[in-house]
Homo-oligomer: A and B are copies of this chain.
Amino acid sequence: MFNEQQTKLARYAKALGHPVRIYVLQTLAKQTCCYSGDLSEVLPIAKSTLSQHLKELKEAGLIQGEIEAPRIKYCINKANWAEAQDLLKAFFED
């Protein structure tokens, strides 16, 4: 019923559908990368909850984590970030 673009768009939008995740993405988009602990210090949520949000963003493809033991460095997944941007742009411009 729904085409690839519609499904992808809904998926990306859903990932953006929470203030914590918006904040995380804005932070990553601004300063290239950061650690979970950096976010945890600022955000008023439990570490485990943040971890869940990061997992969702990872599963949506918008971020990626790189092990830099004992920490994990999170960055924007640039390819998918660009795809989400393009899909949204097209969505609003049709």
Contact = CB atoms under 8 A, between A and B. Distances in A.
Interface in A57-94: 81, 84-85, 88-89, 91-92, 94
Given A29-B94, A92-B88, A94-B30, A9 B16 contact: yes
The prevalent SS among residues of A at the interface is helix
A18 B22 contact: no
Copies of this subunit: 2
A53 B30 CA distance: 34
Interface of A: 1-2, 6-7, 9-11, 13-19, 21-23, 25-26, 29-30, 43-44, 81, 84-85, 88-89, 91-92, 94
A9 B89 CA distance: 15
14 contacts: A6-B22, A6-B23, A6-B26, A7-B19, A10-B16, A10-B22, A13-B16, A15-B17, A16-B17, A22-B91, A26-B94, A81-B92, A88-B92, A89-B89
